[in-house]
Amino acid sequence: MTETTVRRLSEEDWPIYRDMRLRSLQESPDAFVRTYDEEKDYDEALWRARMLRAGRLIARRDGQDIGILSMRAGDPEVQDEAAEIFGLWVPQELRGQGVAVDLFSEAVKEAVAAGHRHLIYWVGTENARGVAFASGRGFRPSEHRRPMRAPGADAGEQEIAMVLSLS
């Protein structure tokens, strides 16, 4: 297997983020709050603004973009001095091949370098694979919950804040 590389995107890389985001919305529509139809016609200014609101990590293998993860400062009401990761996506055919692990590893390095003491990952309580993946990386469930906002989510579905101590 060829090595996977992970790098942070700059504002100028907005087309890479846009393409991965739209691909993820098409291939995994139930995993995100917004839909492909809502985002497909966004203009360059909006994509650039999104690049400034959060860090975007891209995974590449064999010259192809194969995964993405976003990270920003977390909600201090959930956990002090925390960064939050979100928007993690890897194409179905590449899941289980270490791409998400590589993205998470780089996110942890960046969070530590930025002085964060915790990393938060929101995952659906019904998403057994997501919870197991986070648990396997050292994340632990917290008492924090919020309603799922993804299209098609049942009214009672919730996300849980999984927290990883970085200290």
E strands, 22-124, in order: 55-61, 64-73, 82-89, 118-124
Q: What is the pLDDT of residue 143?
A: 92
Region 131-157: mean pLDDT is 83
Per residue in 13-52, pLDDT tens? Answer: 999 999 999 999 999 887 888 899 999 999 999 999 999 9
* pLDDT computed for residue 137 by the predictor: 93
Contact predicate 48/14, CB 8 Å:
yes
Please report the pLDDT score of residue 155 as a whole number.
64
Q: Tens digit of pLDDT for each residue in 113-135?
A: 999 999 999 888 888 888 999 99
- pLDDT for 42: 98
Report the alpha-carbon distance of residue 142 to residue 89 in Å, rounded: 23
Q: In angstroms, rounded to a whole number, what is the distance separating the alpha carbons of residues 6 and 98?
A: 12
pLDDT in tens, 51-92: 999 999 999 999 999 999 999 998 888 888 999 999 899 999
